[in-house]
Amino acid sequence: MTNTPDAEVQSYVLEEQIGFLLRKAYQRNSNIFLTLVPGNLTTMQFSIMRQIAVGGPISQNKLGRSVAMDGATTKGVVDRLIARDLLTARRDPEDRRRHLLSLTPQGEALITEAVEAAARVTAETLSPLTGSEQDTLLRLLSRIT
């Protein structure tokens, strides 16, 4: 076996691949998010809290689906937010097997502040692009998700 990669390996330009570029863009967005959004929230915690703020009490299962997270990930995020006293869980009066998640008063205050900052995160992430380019990028990303 030689140490020289074959032609296919040599012709594959990593820096031009969608996964590589998406990961770099996500890293940029995440760094901006961590800098601007208060409360030391992760992007997943923010997503969970925002959905509850908008939709009111919700089951963990439905919440996870609404933010495109699998059940185990959703449970971990929810457990951490409950431990921080940002969420609370109570039995659903209509189905005692299910728990409904709600924001605590501290969670409500934090998500209000965080949403304002999150709008700045999007603006800063997209700032290298023109308005038209921003619209196109968001439209195209929506199509592939």
Q: Which of 56, 37, 47, 57 is nearest to 117 (CA)?
A: 37
Q: In terms of CATH architecture, what is 42-114?
A: Orthogonal Bundle (1.10)
Q: What angle do CA 135, 131, 38 make, to 5 degrees?
A: 85
Cα–Cα distance between 102 and 90 in angstroms, integer?
A: 8
Distances (CA, A) of 8 to 4, 11, 64: 11, 5, 40
> Residue 19: which pLDDT band, with cuts at 50, 70 and 90?
very high
Phi first, then psi: give them for residue 90, nearest 5 degrees. -140, 155
- pTM (2 d.p.): 0.85
Mean pLDDT score of the chain: 94
Q: What pLDDT is stored for residue 2 in this prediction?
A: 61
What is the pLDDT at residue 98? Answer: 87
Whether the pLDDT of residue 1 is over 60: the answer is: no
Residues 6+ apart with CB under 8 A from 37: 46, 114, 117, 118, 121
